[in-house]
Amino acid sequence: MEMIEFKNLCAKSFGNYGLIKRKKGYFMENDDFILSIFLQKSNFSMSYYINVGYSVKGYNMIIPDIKDETDQDFGYRIRFPYKDGTEVKYGYALKLKDFDTVEIEPYFDKAFEEWILPIFHGGKKEAISNINIHFGSPKNFLCLRKGLYEYLLEEAAK
């Protein structure tokens, strides 16, 4: 797949779920979060990472000026297949030359349906339990921002 095909696929797929392109990212918000997605080109190959993150309203003081993935409070990457010899494995870098858009599009849908939207729609009240379901211990996952775990615990108790 060519880079332009990849970027068009991202715009189409993210748009299907309600995200709007602004500057370098795709955004959607509800009462609790700003969901943002940023494409990150690999420095080592013609590969991309898709960084999905959540900025927590009432906690993140940068809102509404989310510029890149470093402004997100917590996040993860969409996983894609990659070819290791004759074997297909899964990782976070999407090597554009190895797949076409038809092969990759279902991985966007899977990520949105399995974890991106459930965390987004669950809001602050369900954030910790949703993160636990999809990624393991939220205490490990939420260590990026000081006090975020405790903040979300308080929100869940309300």
80-120 pLDDT per residue, tens: 988 888 888 999 999 999 889 999 999 999 999 999 999 99
Q: For residue 140, what pLDDT is reported?
A: 65
Q: Which pTM value belongs to this model?
A: 0.89
Per the structure, how many domains does the chain have?
A: 1
115-144 residue pLDDT tens: 999 999 999 999 989 888 888 777 666 556
The pLDDT value recorded for residue 149 is 86
Helix axes 148-157, 117-135, angle to 10 degrees: 110
What φ, ψ does residue 141 adopt, rounded to 5°?
Answer: -70, -35
Percent of the chain whose pLDDT exceeds 90: 63
Question: 3-class secondary structure for 20-50?
Answer: EEECCEEEEECCCEEEEEEEEECCCCCEEEE
pLDDT at 139: 67
Q: Which domain holds residue 125?
A: 3-157
Tell me the pLDDT tens digit for each residue of 6-47.
Answer: 999 999 999 999 999 999 999 999 999 999 999 999 998 889
pLDDT at site 94? 93
DSSP of 56-102: ETTT-TTTT---SGGG-SEEEE--EEEEETTEEEEES-EEGGG--HH
Helix (H, G, I), strand (E, B) or coil at 53: strand
Q: Which residues pair with 24 in a beta bridge?
A: none
